[in-house]
């Protein structure tokens, strides 16, 4: 397999294969925590942080523990446990040492365990045979792509609070999905920006 | 509580997609065709039933503080089984569903039902509930998959059986197969469901 340039991975994660709008990973938080920019940025910060960590740890675990023991089929279980443990660990550390950050990120951390974006990033790393640096880059890029989409969505929803919408659409999930349709239409056009290999 | 109404509740009132609004990721990602939708829903149904039965069977022995990790391990075990079975017997389907098979593990429907239902009810009703929710999920995925496949290609042919072939009369819209099409389909469907619900509520029903 041809080595993929890091810049390509970064651009893919950010735009071309945006996790929320193109790959449909992590949609629960996309419609759940985007009512205002503040909570959206809190959630995004937590996701970027955990994704980068999870990409590193899971790479080491997969290549130095599971592969030598021929236990690759256990990867789903192993990764979800790693992510859950990491989230707990991050929560402890942040609460003890950076209380200010904990107050803004705290409530989002438990949500991340069941966020398919994190597990998705980790699994895609394995499926694409990325090396350590590529894995971490992909984790960070995917997290940043997630952040971009989350912030755009939150900003749009915040601004459009005064707009009249039909009662059947409302202000909740359905409205968010209509907004996502339009955002996704623009992101689809990033296809072809990077020549596919 | 009667078994039939518990089963139907999973399809109508507590429908995973339109009632509980859980598990949106696979609902949108794999519904490019009816075939993928059915494959995904079958995998989810199996995991749902397995985890609901298991969790409700051991619910009196799980300490409250560690119930989430235990539930996740139970679910991950069944997901691994599905993953390996599909890879062995339906390789083409496995290929097109890709990362979303292992991702059943974080599908909010599965853990949501384990948490909200199986922990509080017996094995029999938990099984019924799992089948109801799984069937509800299957119907939604088939509907969305059908709409997108029809509008996007003009042909619906799950597992090689051609159900509709209208490609001669229409100009298929590629848009529906791509990601915005998924968002559009589900938002329109959700609006219709909301509208019906509000009409019902207005009538006092």
* E strand or H helix at B155: strand B155-156
Domain tally, chain B: 1
Burial pattern B189-200, b for ≥16 Cβ within 10 A else e, equals: bbbebbeeeeee
Size of the A and B interface in Cβ pairs below 8 Å: 107
Q: Does B190 sit within 8 Å of A173, measured CB to CB?
A: yes
Residue A121 banded pLDDT, cuts 50, 70, 90: very high
Lowest mean pLDDT segment, chosen from A1-5, B87-91, B126-130, B133-137: A1-5
Measured between beta carbons, which residues in chain B are less than 8 angstroms from residue A23?
29, 179
* Contacts made by residues B194-202, CB under 8 angstroms, sequence distance 24+: B194/A168, B194/A169, B194/A170, B194/A174, B195/A168, B198/A167, B198/A168
Residue A19 has pLDDT above 60, yes or no: yes
Distance CA A184, CA A60 (A): 34
**pLDDT tens digits for A53-83?**
999 999 999 999 999 998 888 888 999 888 8
- Cβ contacts of residue B84 below 8 Å, gap of 6+? A73
Evaluate if residue A196 carries a pLDDT over 60: no
Question: By the CB < 8 Å criterion, does B116 face chain A?
Answer: no
pLDDT at residue B203 in the model: 85
Residue-wise pLDDT tens digits, A124-143: 999 988 999 999 999 999 99
Question: H or E element: which one contains B89?
Answer: helix B67-89
Residue A114 confidence (pLDDT) above 80:
no
Q: Percent of chain B beyond pLDDT 90?
A: 48
| Residue B46, domain extent | 3-202
> Which of A188, A192, A184, A82 is closest to A126 using CA atoms?
A82
SS3 B97: helix
- Predicted confidence at residue A2, as pLDDT, reads 57
- Quote the longest CA-to-CA distance of chain A: 59
The answer to whether the CB atoms of B99 and A120 lie below 8 A apart is yes
- Closest to B56 (Cα-Cα) out of B137, B130, B134, B138: B130
Looking at the complex, does the CB of residue B103 fall below 8 Å from at least one CB of chain A?
yes
Q: Is the pLDDT of residue A108 over 80?
A: no
Residue B165 · residue B158 · CB < 8 Å: no
**Which segments within B21-122 are labelled E, that is strand?**
none
pLDDT at A112: 81
Residue B144 in contact with residue B31, Cβ under 8 Å?
yes
Sorting pLDDT into bands at 50, 70 and 90, what band is A190? confident
Q: Which of A123, A45, A146 is nearest to B98 (CA)?
A: A123
- Average pLDDT of chain B is 89
- Kindly report, residue by residue over B143-177, the tens digit of the pLDDT: 999 999 999 888 888 888 888 888 778 888 888 88
| pLDDT > 80? residue A101 | no
Q: Is B164 helix (H, G, I), strand (E, B) or coil?
A: strand
Return the domain boundaries, chain A: 6-187
Dist CA B137 CA B133 (whole Å): 6
pLDDT given for residue A106 in this prediction: 64
In angstroms, the Cα distances linking A170 to A90, A147, B201 are 36, 25, 15
Question: Which of A24, A81, A169 faces B179 most closely, judged by CB atoms?
Answer: A24
Q: Looking at residues A166-183, what average pLDDT do you find? A: 89
Tell me the CA distances in angstroms from A89 to A53, A54, A82, A100, A188, one per residue in order.
Answer: 11, 12, 10, 17, 37
Residues above pLDDT 70, as percent of chain B: 100
Are the beta carbons of B106 and A170 separated by less than 8 Å? no
Encode pLDDT of B17-73 as tens digits: 888 788 888 889 889 889 999 999 999 999 999 999 999 999 999 888 888 888 889
Q: What is the ipTM of this complex?
A: 0.86
Query: pLDDT tens digit string along A139-174?
Result: 999 999 999 999 999 999 998 888 888 888 888 889
pLDDT at position B205, please?
A: 56
Nearest chain A residue to B25 by CA: give it: A24
Return the pLDDT at B183: 94
């Amino acid at each position: 397999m041809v080595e993929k340039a890091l810049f390509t991975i970064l651009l893919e994660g950010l735009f071309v294969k945006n996790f929320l709008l193109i790959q449909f990973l992590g949609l629960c938080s996309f419609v759940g925590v985007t009512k205002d920019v503040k909570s959206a940025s809190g959630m995004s910060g937590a996701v970027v942080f955990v994704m980068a960590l999870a990409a590193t740890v899971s790479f080491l675990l997969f290549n130095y523990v599971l592969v030598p023991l021929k236990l690759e089929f256990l990867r789903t279980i192993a990764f979800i446990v790693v992510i859950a443990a990491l989230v707990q660990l991050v929560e402890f550390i942040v609460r003890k040492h950076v209380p200010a950050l904990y107050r803004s990120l705290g409530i989002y951390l438990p949500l991340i365990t069941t966020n398919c974006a994190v597990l998705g990033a980790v699994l895609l790393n394995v499926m694409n045979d990325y090396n350590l640096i590529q894995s971490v880059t992909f984790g960070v890029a995917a997290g940043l792509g997630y952040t971009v989409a989350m912030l755009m969505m939150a900003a749009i929803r915040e601004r459009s609070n005064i707009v009249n919408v039909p009662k059947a659409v409302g202000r909740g999930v359905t409205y968010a999905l209509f907004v996502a349709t339009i955002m996704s239409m623009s992101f689809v056009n990033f296809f072809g920006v990077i020549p596919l290999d | 509580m009667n078994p039939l109404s518990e089963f139907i509740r999973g399809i109508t009132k507590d429908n995973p997609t339109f009632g509980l609004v859980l598990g949106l990721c696979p609902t949108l990602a794999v519904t490019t065709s009816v075939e993928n939708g059915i494959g995904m829903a079958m995998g989810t149904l199996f995991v749902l039933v397995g985890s609901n039965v298991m969790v409700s069977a051991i619910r009196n022995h799980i300490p409250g503080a560690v119930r989430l990790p235990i539930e996740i391990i139970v679910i991950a075990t069944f997901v691994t089984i599905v993953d390996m079975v599909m890879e062995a017997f339906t390789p083409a389907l496995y290929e097109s569903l890709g990362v979303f098979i292992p991702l059943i593990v974080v599908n909010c429907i599965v853990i949501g039902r384990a948490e909200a239902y199986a922990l509080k009810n017996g094995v029999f009703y938990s099984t019924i509930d799992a089948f109801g929710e799984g069937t509800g999920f299957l119907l939604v995925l088939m509907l969305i998959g059908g709409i997108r496949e029809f509008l996007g290609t003009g042909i619906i042919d799950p597992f090689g059986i051609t159900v509709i072939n209208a490609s001669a009369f229409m100009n298929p819209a590629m848009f529906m197969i791509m990601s915005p099409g998924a968002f559009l389909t589900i938002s329109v469907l959700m609006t219709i469901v909301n509208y019906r619900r509000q009409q019902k509520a207005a009538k006092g029903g």
